[in-house]
Amino acid sequence: MRALLQRVSHASVSVGGEVVGRCGPGLMILVCAMRGDGEAQADRLAARVARLRIFRDDAGKMNRSLLDTGGGALVVSQFTLAADTSRGNRPGFSAAAAPEDGERLYERFAQSLAAEGVAVETGRFGADMQVELCNDGPVTIWIDA
């Protein structure tokens, strides 16, 4: 699985003008299941994200995790993270999991992250979504699991 994490002061995702998920201080997480991924990758990614030390401590150093800060997470599916731009001008997405697998693993990731103790809200898989966020730092981290 692949995830793009953005440390945020707040974030929200809307579908058709209706906010379907939001978080305050924490992480905006764009997640993509890749071909061949399974539940183990979703669980491992969730555990890594929950413990990744990218939040400031009292000394201003990135030394605290999402669990340490009590921050929330907004998890949004994004198959375009699987884009292959190595040939031509049109990206290919054949490395992304099939939609039914992608949805299952996206939901598994969100559930696993919540089981780690993180307050999780989500977008709507496969929907045309509008995402708003305020990147804090900015801090943006790419993770493959």
142 pLDDT band, cuts 50/70/90, is very high
The predicted pLDDT at position 145 comes to: 87
Q: Where are the beta strands (DSSP E) in 33-128?
A: 55-56, 62-64, 72-77, 119-122
- Residues marked active site are found at 78-80
Domain layout of the chain by residue ranges: 2-144
Give the pLDDT confidence of 51-101 residue by residue, as tens digits: 999 999 999 999 999 999 999 999 999 999 999 999 999 999 999 999 999
What are the distances in angstroms from CA 12 to CA 3, 69, 141?
17, 19, 19
Please tell me the CATH code under which domain 2-144 is placed.
Answer: 3.50.80.10
CB of 9 closer than 8 Å to CB of 139 = no
76 φ, ψ (degrees, to nearest 5): -130, 130
CB of 102 closer than 8 Å to CB of 33 = yes
Give the pLDDT confidence of 103-137 residue by residue, as tens digits: 999 999 999 999 999 999 999 999 999 999 999 99
Pairing of strands 26-32, 72-77: parallel
Provide the residue type at 43 as one letter. Answer: D
Residue with tokens 């198959």: 79
Structure pTM? Answer: 0.95
Alpha-carbon gap, residue 38 to 102, rounded angstroms? 10
* Alpha carbon of residue 33 to chain centroid: 11
